[in-house]
Amino acid sequence: MHRLHSPLHSPLKVLIDAPVCYGYNSTMLTAWPLSKSAYTGFRQYKILLYALLLGIGDGAVGVINTHIIGFPLFMDTIGTLISTAAFGFWPGIVSAVTTHSFTELLRGLTGADFTLPWIICSSASVITLAVLIRYKLFENFFHAVLATILITLVNSISGAFVATFFYSGITIHPVDYITTAFLSVGHSFFTSAFWARIPINMIDKGIAVFITFGLFYYLRTKRREKEEF
């Protein structure tokens, strides 16, 4: 049985006590595809607060990367995947929505286009990771590789959809250079946006997945040690 911790406990302590040993179970906060909530009282507000902070962190890193550093990656998914792996599906969705809501708030400073449609891509990552964890497919290195491939694919498909139908293929991001190259040889907007995102997402989501997997593995190990003790 999980104890209700005081507000003075660190986020890492809450993460270690969170039930992440073998995926989702009845002690997760409305964990997809289950609907039974276990985070009650003050703890559920702490979980949501951490999900919000992780989303804000994603948004800040993404804005800094796109508009200041200019590195050809997205860098806006790490916190969202961590939130999903540590807390469950709905906290992951909260992080995803917060990420792009935060970047939308900064749109007047960055000059970026309308950013909320990208919630579709982050949510696709959350759903994919949630399904993998639910069926115990995020337990080892090979599972992390599988997660990278699947999240890359769903992000490239959803990203191509968003880029095509919301931005006409051009999104004010370095990925546009690759998209333009595919367009120049006769590909459609959708296929150009899709293939342009495959190599970038493979690296970008690979970084996010393996950071998340490392933390997930650490938390699972610490929790097992605690239970054995």
- Give residue limits of the domains in the chain: 11-221
pLDDT at residue 106, as a whole number: 84
> What burial class does residue 216 get, using C-beta atoms within 10 Å of its C-beta: 0-12 exposed, 13-18 middle, 19+ buried?
buried
pLDDT at residue 28, as a whole number: 41
CATH class as words, domain 11-221? mainly alpha
pLDDT at residue 17, as a whole number: 58
In this structure, the dihedral spanned by the alpha carbons of residues 65, 66, 71 and 74, taken in order and rounded to 10 degrees, is 90
pLDDT at residue 33, as a whole number: 36
Please, which residues have CB within 8 angstroms of residue 82's CB and are 6 or more apart in sequence?
54, 211, 212, 215
pLDDT in tens, the chain (229 residues): 444 444 445 666 655 555 544 344 444 445 443 334 556 667 788 888 999 999 999 999 998 888 788 888 999 999 999 999 988 888 999 999 999 999 988 876 666 678 899 999 999 999 999 999 888 899 999 999 999 999 999 999 999 999 999 988 788 888 999 999 999 999 999 999 999 999 999 999 999 999 999 998 888 788 777 666 5
In this structure, the dihedral spanned by the alpha carbons of residues 80, 85, 91 and 92, taken in order and rounded to 10 degrees, is 30
pLDDT at residue 49, as a whole number: 95
